[in-house]
Structure 1
Amino acid sequence: MELTSIASSSEGNSIFVGSKETKLLVDCGISAKRIEKSLDELDTRASELSGILITHEHSDHIKGLGVMLRRYGLPVFATAKTIDAVLDSRYIGKVDKDLFHPIEADHPFQLDDITVEASHVWHDAADPVCYSFYSEGFKASIATDLGDYDEYLVEKIRDSHILFVEANHDVNMLQVGSYPYYLKRRILGDHGHLSNERCAQLIEDTVTEKTQKVYLGHLSKENNFAELAYETVKVALTEPDFLMEVAKRDCISSITKVS
């Protein structure tokens, strides 16, 4: 199994997950052109994708989806409420609704040799989820866009060999920054985004001896930066025995493979 971030920030997100038989995208929050270019760098054609998984309908996760569907006719998997919200979005345009396949959180499903399980997260969207992937005894989990978490989520993403989690903002930078009050309140709320400190707590609660790599993702351009996120999380962890990397905003991050 392998995972890499194609783009990760508050402006656009897309993650590649692959196995021997299966190639998937999680979210299409950047242009189709950028996705195609990134896939080329990964020696993968967009037409070879087994499907696209959508976490929720916010623009930084679906901006490129409509073009990808019109060009390649790829199947899309998301919860029923998310599908309705995506189809109502002004970013999608005219697409074949038959390409959309509703899934349910806590009900695993199979895509070739990868088992996928969606799990509920706390975010201000129609029915947001995160995803875990299982193949040949390995597990990768992606959990971003959550204002907080509970034991349910910890259990869902625990024991991941590869873990991709949100470190969206530094609380102080957000509080003193230029965002209007309502937006600060949204981000800091239980259905907003994880701070660097809360991200560290989530990692501490979920990593085990199986964990080989942790990505920090979905960083805010205005309220965080890579070095701060990395150091804040690293200092808060108890003797981390895994690699950690901040996912890049505008290009592919390093590829992590477990086998």
Structure 2
Amino acid sequence: MADDFKVSMLASGSAGNVTYIETPQHKVLVDAGLSGKKIDELMKSIGKSLQDVDKLFITHEHTDHLKGVGVLARKYGMDLYANDKTWAAIDGKIGKVDTAQKHVFQRDSTQLFGDLDVESYAVSHDAADPQFYAFHHDNKTFAMLTDTGYVNAKIASVFKNADAILMEANHDIEMLRYGSYAWSLKQRILGDEGHLSNVDGAENLSKMIGRNTKQIYLGHLSQENNQVPLAHLTVEQILQEHDFDVTNDFKLLDTSPDWATPLTEI
């Protein structure tokens, strides 16, 4: 069926990150960087229930991706997936979780779950062993990328011509440089283990977008060093400079840490 692979960015930003993906056989989350109560509210806002979620994929141990993991695992019994180093880094941060719910998903590998194939890939970020995921169903792909300082050839190959993409547009470089952050934090964000800027995200997208690409979400915007209209305009202008018809070729969509994007067919 054409409408059986759906996605919603429940929350995306420096304050918290949660993504929901569903197929006929599975309903899964990527990260749970908000309170369990807030995630429950966001799920209900798209007409879905946490009781139906069977898997939660963890990208890394930072709080804006991890905050609600323990609560959701204990309350709803969902299976958790992360690589070995991330599990070690999480130890003590999510409370007691049944060992039967903990599963290892090593980076740069693929696991098959019925009608959903999940592919992991390493990213460059200041965490133990950060990785993100691409989800494949019925010859369609939704690929996710935030929390990285740069994009390597492996990631680019996964994203090439993906049907839907979540791409980081974390900061406006000038806002960050002249903002209130300490110089050490600015260096971290701008470095190879930091975050992609609006310009970085756009330039990488220009090499990934293909005929199949119909939805692009701009994610993980900094509340201090970015603005939604600015990120959107910057990415749109750069893609137009690369001869993309942003209005007709695909949808360029905004995200927020406070509200969920509509549950949308891929």
Fold shared by both chains (TM-score > 0.5): yes
Aligned residues: 256
Partner in structure 2 of residue 179 of structure 1 = 181
Residue deviations 1:218-251, cap 9 Å, x none? 0000000100000000000122321011112201
Kindly indicate whether residue 26 of structure 2 is the aligned counterpart of residue 18 of structure 1: no
Partner in structure 2 of residue 80 of structure 1 = 84
| Aligned pairs for 1:48-197 within 5 A | 48-89=52-93, 92-197=94-199
What secondary structure sits across from 2:19 in the alignment? strand
What is the deviation of 1:67?
0.8
Query: Separation in 2 of the partners of 1:59 and 1:249?
Result: 13
Compute the TM-score of the two structures, normalised by the length of structure 2. 0.93
What is the deviation of 1:156?
1.6
Partner in structure 1 of residue 6 of structure 2 = 2
What is the deviation of 1:214?
0.0
Query: Separation in 2 of the partners of 1:80 and 1:121?
Result: 15
Query: Separation in 2 of the partners of 1:250 and 1:243?
Result: 21
Query: Separation in 2 of the partners of 1:109 and 1:150?
Result: 22
How high is the sequence identity, in percent, across the aligned residues? Answer: 37
Query: Separation in 1 of the partners of 2:78 and 2:163?
Result: 28
From 235, 242, 245, the counterpart of 1:233 = 235
Residue deviations 1:9-59, cap 9 Å, x none? 101000001112211100000011111122223332212112000111100
Q: Unaligned regions of 5+ residues in structure 2, if any?
A: none
Partner in structure 2 of residue 43 of structure 1 = 47
Residue deviations 1:73-111, cap 9 Å, x none? 21001111111111233xx12222331101122221122
CA RMSD of aligned residues (A): 1.1
Kindly indicate whether residue 50 of structure 2 is the aligned counterpart of residue 31 of structure 1: no
What secondary structure sits across from 2:192 in the alignment? coil
Compute the TM-score of the two structures, normalised by the length of structure 1. 0.96
| Alignment-mate amino acid for residue 104 of structure 2 | P
What is the deviation of 1:72?
1.2
What secondary structure sits across from 2:17 in the alignment? strand
Kindly indicate whether residue 257 of structure 2 is the aligned counterpart of residue 253 of structure 1: no
What secondary structure sits across from 2:170 in the alignment? coil
